[in-house]
Amino acid sequence: MFNNLRDDVGNILRLDPAARSSFEVWLCYPGFHAVLVHHLSHFLWTHGWLVLGRFVSSIGRNLTGIEIHPGAKLGRRLFIDHGLGIVIGETAEIGDDVTLYQGVTLGGTSLLRGKRHPTLEDGVIVGAGAKVLGSFTVGRGARVGANAVVLSEVPAGVSVAGIPAKIVGERPKPEAPSPFLPYGTPCDDTPDPVACQLSVLHGEVSRLRERLAQLEDRREREELGTAVPGEFAAGIRSANE
User: What's the order of all strands across the beta sheet hosting 149-150?
Assistant: 67-68, 87-88, 105-107, 131-133, 149-150
The CA distance from 171 to 186, in Å, is 13
The CA distance from 59 to 110, in Å, is 26
Three-class secondary structure assignment of 24-51: HHHHHCHHHHHHHHHHHHHHHHHCCCHH
User: Apex CA 126: angle with CA 137 and CA 100, to 5°?
Assistant: 110
* Phi/psi of residue 146, nearest 5 degrees: -60, 135
The CA distance from 6 to 25, in Å, is 11
DSSP 36: H
DSSP 95: -
pTM metric for this prediction: 0.68
DSSP 37: H
52-93: pLDDT as tens digits: 999 999 999 999 999 999 999 999 999 998 889 999 999 999
SS3 214: helix
Contact predicate 148/160, CB 8 Å:
yes
The CA distance from 68 to 89, in Å, is 7
107-164: pLDDT as tens digits: 988 888 889 999 999 999 999 999 999 999 999 999 999 899 999 999 998 899 888 8
The CA distance from 190 to 119, in Å, is 26
